[in-house]
Amino acid sequence: MTTSINQKSLFSGSHIVRWPEKYKPVVDYLINGIEVVKNENSLFEYNVNVLCFAAGIGIRTSKRIPFTGEKLLEIHTDTFNNNELGVWIFLISLMMDMENPDIELLRNSESENNAVKIFQEFAFGGLHYLNERFSNESIHTPYFFVQKIIGDLNDISKDVSVINDIEPNIW
């Protein structure tokens, strides 16, 4: 038996998720590729999908960037919920500190605002990372672009885990 989270009741009210307009070209690319509109080769269906991916990249690369006078685009949390992605806002916020996750983020509207803020900042960091890579890569399909990024991030984690497994022999 599988259970699913009721996305409609995740938030006590509607909140707005903001993201920098300057990253719209990379978001559009991840949705449409080199086409002008969605097509059969589209990797992500909507902006909310890309923002969740970007927030995951932000967490993975430890890039959390606060907004500072950027021109912003907005998406209501209802849109996340309608696409069964609202839980990502809380997950990213909880993943921020895996040692001591703050479950208070799940308790009230003020905490929800904080969860949205944290999600936005990691999404901003992830979009920044994706945009840098987008500017430097010559890959022409979103699928291969994302595959390359994930592969590179996995290679980085393998290198780190090898280093972490080495214990100095001081005896």
What pLDDT is stored for residue 83 in this prediction?
85
Residues 6+ apart with CB under 8 A from 17: 51, 74, 75, 76, 77, 80, 89, 116, 119, 120, 123
Q: Where are the domains of the chain?
A: 7-154
pLDDT above 80: residue 60: yes
Residues 6+ apart with CB under 8 A from 130: 23, 26, 30, 54, 57, 149
Whole-structure pTM value = 0.79
Give the pLDDT confidence of 115-141 residue by residue, as tens digits. 899 999 999 999 999 999 988 877 668
What pLDDT is stored for residue 11 in this prediction?
78
What pLDDT is stored for residue 56 in this prediction?
93
pLDDT above 60: residue 166: no
